[in-house]
Chain A
Amino acid sequence: MRRSPLLWAVALAVYAFLYIPLVVVVLYSFNDSRLNAEWVGFTLHWYRVLLNDGEMLEAGANSLLIAFVSATFATLLGTMSGIAMHRFKLRALPLLVITPVAMPEILLGVSLLIFFVQVLNFTLGLFSVLIAHITFCVGFVAIVVRARLAGMDESIFEASRDLGASPWQTFRLITFPLILPGVIAGALMAFTLSIDDFVITFFTAGVGVHTLPLQIYSMIKIAVTPEVNAVSTLLMTLTLGMIIVASRFAPDALKGAA
C-alpha cells in the first residue's frame, strides 16, 4: 500500500523522539568519562561501580521484590475486578476501580501517606509501599482484562454451562484461557508501573525503604554520573526481556492491551 512521504516523516520523527534519548542513555553508560557530555571511549567501569554500590544494589533488590509482589496481587485483584466489571453492569464499580488510575499520582501519594500515618498510625516501610503499589496497579490490570472480555461472544460462556460445566469449570476451562493474554499484559504493566514508580513511592516509603527510582533521584541531586546510565540500561534490558518472554509465551499478550 502507498503511504504519503509526509506520513513517513511524521512517524520517523515520533520514533526518533521516543528512542534516541534511550539510545543515548545506553551509549553513555559505556563511556569512559565522568560526564555525559562527549564520547571518550568504551569502558565497563560504570557497571563495576554499580556492582560495588551496596546501596544501589539493595535499592534494586527492593524494587524487584516490590514490583514482583505488587504485580502478583494486583493481577489477582485486577483480574477479578475486570471480570466483575464485565459481568455485573454496576455503574459504581468501574468508577471505584478506575479512579486510582485516573487520579494524579501526587494526590494518591499524599492521601495514602495521610491514610497510613494519621488514620492507621502505621510505620512507613516496605509494607506501606506494597499496599500503595497494589492499589494503583489494580485498576490498570482490571481495564486490560475487561477490554479483553468486552470483545468476546457472551454465548461462549453460556455454551459452556449449557454443555455441563459448572461456573467454576467454566472459569477454569473457558474464561481464564481466553483472558490469559490480557492477564499477562496486565501483569507486565503492573510490574513496569511498580518498578519505575517515583511519586507514590516517595510519599509512602518513609525512611525505612529505598527503591531504585528513589536511589537514582538522590544520586542525581549530587551529580549525574554514568552509573545512573548503567543502572538505567539494566532496567531497560529487564523490561525489554520481559516483553520478549511474554510475546513468546502468549503471542497476543500485547494485543490484549488494545
Chain B
Amino acid sequence: MALLEIRNVVRRFADFTAVDGVSLQVEAGEFFTLLGPSGCGKTTLLRMIAGFDAPDEGELLLDGQSLRGIPPEHRPIHTVFQSYALFPHLTVAENVAFPLRMAKVAPDDIRRRVQDALEAVHLSEKQRHLPHELSGGQKQRVALARGLVNRPRLLLLDEPLGALDAKLREEMQMELINLQKNVGITFVFVTHSQAEALALSHRIAVMNRGHVEQLDEPSRLYSFPRNRFVADFIGKINMLEAAVLRSTAEALVLDVAGVGEVWAPALPAVAAGQRGMFAVRPEQVRIQSGEVAPAGVGHNQVHGRVLDFLYIGDVTTYLVELANGTRLEALLPNTAPGRAKFFEADDPVTLTWSSQVGVFLDA
C-alpha cells in the first residue's frame, strides 16, 4: 500500500480550478517532487496534504486511512515552509523542541532529541540564538530539524530553497538528499525549478493547470517527455514541426520541417500521417565544421550557419539557422582551455544526431 494516496482530488476557488482531478501515490521512503510553474496547483495540493485546505472532490489517504476532517495538528505530517516560519520569539532549540512539546514527550527525551536533530543539521552551537540572528541557510536548517525531530510519516517541503542564493542552494540540495537518506522519512517536495527537481527526486510529478502532465523518474522525464509542456518545461529542447512518414517496431521516420527525413526512436502508438513536433535536446545535437557529406540512412544530419553563441563557462551553446530559417540549438563542452568557442558567427556547420535520441510529440 502506498504511504500517501491522492484520489481524483479537485479544488476549486471562486474563479478557477486550482487542482483538477489529480491522482497519484507516494511510496514510503520516497523523495517525491511536485514540479510545475506558479499557479499549476502544486502548492494547493501540498496545503491539502498538510490539512490547511480541503479538497472539493476526491480523497487523500495516509496509510490507507482517509484524511478527511482531520485537522493539521492531528496529521503525522510536518511542513517546511517557504518562509521557514520559525517562531521569532523562541530560540533555535525551543523552535526544534516545539513539536515534541506538543506531542507531550518527556522533558529529558526532548532535550536529547533536540540535540540530535540540531547535530544532524550542524547547528548545535546556535541553539540559544533567536531566528533573526541566523543566516538564510541556517534558518532553513532549523526549519528542517524542526520538521523532522518528531519523525513524521511525511515531510512536506514548500519551495524551501527558493530564498537561498545559488551556491548555498546547491549545498543544501546535497544536504537534503543525505538527510532524507539518513532519516528515511518520506519527502514531498514542491518546486518550480526543474534543475532542483531533477537533482533531488526519486520521482517527479510535472503539474500544469491543475493536472499531472507526467509522473516519472527524473531521467525518464528528461529523455522521454510525454508532451510538449513537459519537454519544454524540463530542460532546454529544440522543437521542430514534423509529420510521421513511417512507424515501425524499430524506428519512427519523420518528415521534419527544414531538415527532411529524420529517424527517431520507435513509438508504437504513433501511426503514419500523424502531425506533431520532433524534439531533441541541445546536448544531443553534435556540431561540426563545414558541410559534411550525408552518412546514410538512419543518420540524422542537417546543414546550417551559426547565428549566435552563448558562452556559459563549461559549455557554449550555438544557435544555428537552417536554410528555411528554422533555428536549432547545439551544445558543445569547452574542453580546450582558454577557448570560449569553436565556431564563429556565420560559419557553415553540420548538425548531426543519433537515431536513438529525440522524441516525437503529438500533443
Contact = CB atoms under 8 A, between A and B. Distances in A.
Interface of A: 153, 155-156, 158-166, 169, 173-174, 177-178
Main SS class of interface, B: loop
Interface string B47-66: 00011100000000000000
Given A163-B102, A165-B102, A178-B89, A158 B81 contact: yes
B99 A153 contact: no
Nearest to B102: A164
Nearest to B149: A163
A161 B72 contact: yes
Among A158, A163, A164, A178: residue with most chain B CB under 10 A: A163
B79 A162 contact: yes
6 contacts: A156-B88, A159-B81, A159-B87, A162-B79, A165-B73, A178-B89
B103 interface: yes
B146 interface: yes
Interface residues on B, range: 20 to 34
A174 to B, nearest CB: 6
A173 B88 CA distance: 12
Given A161-B51, A162-B77, A174-B87, 20 more contacts: A153-B83, A153-B85, A156-B87, A158-B50, A158-B72, A158-B79, A159-B79, A159-B85, A161-B71, A161-B72, A161-B73, A162-B51, A162-B52, A162-B72, A162-B73, A163-B98, A163-B147, A164-B99, A164-B103, A178-B88
A171 B241 CA distance: 59
A93 B136 CA distance: 38
Contacts of B50: 158, 162
Nearest to B52: A158
Q: Which 9 A-B pairs have the closest CB atoms?
A: A164-B102, A159-B85, A155-B85, A163-B99, A161-B72, A155-B81, A162-B79, A164-B73, A156-B85
A164 B87 contact: no
Interface of B: 50-52, 71-73, 77-79, 81-83, 85-89, 98-99, 102-103, 146-147, 150
Contacts of A166: 73
B47 to A, nearest CB: 9
A156 B86 CA distance: 7
A158 B85 contact: yes
Nearest to A165: B102
A175 B3 CA distance: 33
B139 to A, nearest CB: 12
A169 B89 CA distance: 15
Contacts of B85: 153, 155-156, 158-159
Contacts of A159: 79, 81, 85-87
A156 B147 CA distance: 13
A166 B98 CA distance: 12
Nearest to A164: B102
Contacts of B79: 158-159, 162
B228 to A, nearest CB: 35
B91 to A, nearest CB: 13
A178 B83 CA distance: 17
Nearest to B75: A162
Contacts of B99: 163-164
Given A158-B52, A163-B78, A163-B146, A169 B72 contact: no
Nearest to A159: B85
B48 to A, nearest CB: 13
Nearest to B81: A155
A174 B150 CA distance: 19
A164 B87 CA distance: 14
